[in-house]
A and B are shown apart, each in its own frame.
Chain A
């Protein structure tokens, strides 16, 4: 019996646990006492206007920013080797070297991530119509983004962190990206998806976290929002009307 309780605690332990997080760039405070605890097995929307601190929070969670104050744990670990091995991260930027071809990128991920499924990546590459041997520098931005998306979604990660995957693309591409995420993420994992395009994605969220002025302004399960007869977009407008005033 005790072991069942222990197992239950392990599975319900927060996948992201942040306490009193502060981050500033010079005099510009971008995160100001953020505390949040996110349960595993959910699709979480990280919402907020541009410059509200979403990307800074994500960079801290993924280990790209290390000079912060506060306590941060991802999968029970401080951002580091252990947490990075369980996080599949899709940044806003294209990060592949110019010389890399899709097959090189796939081999690279296969080398470093134990949870990477090479077969799946190769299948997705064909499905996405990406030429196996075309160098990244000769690819369009859209092709590079597709390649990065397939690399990330070919991992059986505990936590997927997707930073504005829908930003700057047309509605058809948006739908394609969303379908790819929904069809390929591991069902027991957690997805943290940052966006400001709420209308297109609110149906997939189990939980939303709204950040403004470097603080958590709203943190709620979408089931509770819907129970009140509201949509996430409506709540967003309510919250960020306030946020814009204070920003």
Chain B
């Protein structure tokens, strides 16, 4: 059943999300083609500006669309179908989390892709020295004495980045579910969005404070990755604050469990 849920969630969410990605791809291809012709400078400029605008759209719109999709599929009239399917609420939640994670990740991937494209084509054309400098940077990384540290840091940063997407998904689900339960359901249609913003801001503030001031870190050096609880000034390696991440992990897990509980025990489909 989980596979069928994921398939149908992808299909349903694609109707509202796929469009923005297809527009970005179409403009990207169109603009890339225009760079093959010197005479199409205006189109190159317009296409590049459109891509830069779209780079923000592919980051922000999926979050809003997922917020809306989650609410509509579970708490509007469609809930009459979703909640009468012979599936567990945790499976419904997991399916929507997988699908939301995939869409938001795709948005980030496109965001990065757009900037790589703009740097390569637009800035590279304006000043070819930029591309040379980038190549120098790659070479420099390649010849770093502590290249292993760099690679480990990149791996940890990417893992943390994926984790942050899951945190956002958990915040969306929890906020939208909470907004359908008394007393929050009296706020109105904007309730879910306001709760999401509130949860996001509070968690982000605590995350920053804990990361800065709590001495619990991952110390990455060429030899090893280890957990440290004290300052490591003067030691060759990189420190990544962990307290904030652990806080977010606990909160995200709590929000998924909380959302599942509310779906099972507290939601009344109107």
Query: Which residues of A sit under 8 angstroms from B83, Cβ to Cβ?
Result: 62-64
On whether the beta carbons of A81 and B265 are closer than 8 Å, the reply is no
Interface size on A, residues (CB 8 A): 27
Q: Is B1 an interface residue (CB 8 A)?
A: yes
Query: Which residues of A sit under 8 angstroms from B264, Cβ to Cβ?
Result: 66
Query: Which residues of B sit under 8 angstroms from A82, Cβ to Cβ?
Result: 86
Contact residues on B (Cβ < 8 Å of other chain), bracket? 20 to 34
Query: Which residues of B sit under 8 angstroms from A97, Cβ to Cβ?
Result: 12, 15, 72-73, 78
Give residues of chain B (66-92) contacting chain A, Cβ–Cβ below 8 Å: 72-73, 77-81, 83-88
Query: Which residues of A sit under 8 angstroms from B8, Cβ to Cβ?
Result: 108, 111
On whether the beta carbons of A81 and B78 are closer than 8 Å, the reply is no
Q: Is B4 an interface residue (CB 8 A)?
A: yes
On whether the beta carbons of A65 and B269 are closer than 8 Å, the reply is yes
On whether the beta carbons of A111 and B80 are closer than 8 Å, the reply is no
Query: Which residues of A sit under 8 angstroms from B229, Cβ to Cβ?
Result: none
Give bound CA distance, A97 to B84, whole Å: 15
On whether the beta carbons of A96 and B78 are closer than 8 Å, the reply is yes
Smallest CB–CB gap between A77 and chain B, Å? 11
Check A89/B84 contact, CB under 8 A, given A97-B12, A99-B12, A111-B8: yes
Smallest CB–CB gap between A64 and chain B, Å? 4
Nearest A residue to B91 via CB reads A81
On whether the beta carbons of B266 and A93 are closer than 8 Å, the reply is no
Q: Is A67 an interface residue (CB 8 A)?
A: yes
Q: Which 3 A-B pairs have the closest CB atoms?
A: A85-B86, A95-B80, A84-B86
Give bound CA distance, A161 to B264, whole Å: 21
Given known contacts A25-B268, A64-B83, A89-B84, what 16 new A-B pairs fall within 8 Å (CB)?
A: A59-B268, A64-B79, A64-B84, A64-B268, A66-B266, A66-B268, A84-B84, A87-B84, A95-B78, A96-B81, A97-B72, A97-B78, A108-B8, A112-B1, A112-B4, A113-B86
Query: Which residues of B sit under 8 angstroms from A85, Cβ to Cβ?
Result: 86
Give residues of chain B (218-270) contacting chain A, Cβ–Cβ below 8 Å: 264-269
On whether the beta carbons of B88 and A63 are closer than 8 Å, the reply is no
Give bound CA distance, A67 to B180, whole Å: 14
On whether the beta carbons of B4 and A81 are closer than 8 Å, the reply is no
Give residues of chain A (75-90) contacting chain B, Cβ–Cβ below 8 Å: 81-82, 84-85, 87, 89
**Most interface-central of B77, B87, B88 (chain A CB within 10 A):** B77
Q: Which B residues have a C-beta under 8 Å from some C-beta of A?
A: 1, 4, 7-8, 11-12, 15, 72-73, 77-81, 83-88, 182, 264-269
Query: Which residues of B sit under 8 angstroms from A96, Cβ to Cβ?
Result: 78, 81
Question: 1/0 per position for A46-72, CB-CB distance to B under 8 A?
Answer: 000000000000010011111100000
On whether the beta carbons of A112 and B87 are closer than 8 Å, the reply is yes
Query: Which residues of B sit under 8 angstroms from A111, Cβ to Cβ?
Result: 4, 7-8
Give bound CA distance, A85 to B88, whole Å: 11
Selected from B73, B85, B88, B266, the residue in CB contact (under 8 A) with A67 is B266
Give bound CA distance, A82 to B87, whole Å: 9
Query: Which residues of A sit under 8 angstroms from B88, Cβ to Cβ?
Result: 81
On whether the beta carbons of A81 and B86 are closer than 8 Å, the reply is yes
Query: Which residues of A sit under 8 angstroms from B4, Cβ to Cβ?
Result: 111-112
Give bound CA distance, A113 to B4, whole Å: 11
Q: Is A14 an interface residue (CB 8 A)?
A: no
Selected from A26, A64, A112, the residue in CB contact (under 8 A) with B86 is A112
Selected from B7, B81, B87, B265, the residue in CB contact (under 8 A) with A95 is B81
Give residues of chain A (185-205) contacting chain B, Cβ–Cβ below 8 Å: none
Give bound CA distance, A91 to B267, whole Å: 17
Selected from B11, B77, B265, the residue in CB contact (under 8 A) with A93 is B77
Give bound CA distance, A85 to B73, whole Å: 20
Q: Is A29 an interface residue (CB 8 A)?
A: no
Give bound CA distance, A91 to B77, whole Å: 10
Query: Which residues of B sit under 8 angstroms from A108, Cβ to Cβ?
Result: 8
Smallest CB–CB gap between A167 and chain B, Å? 15
Query: Which residues of B sit under 8 angstroms from A138, Cβ to Cβ?
Result: none
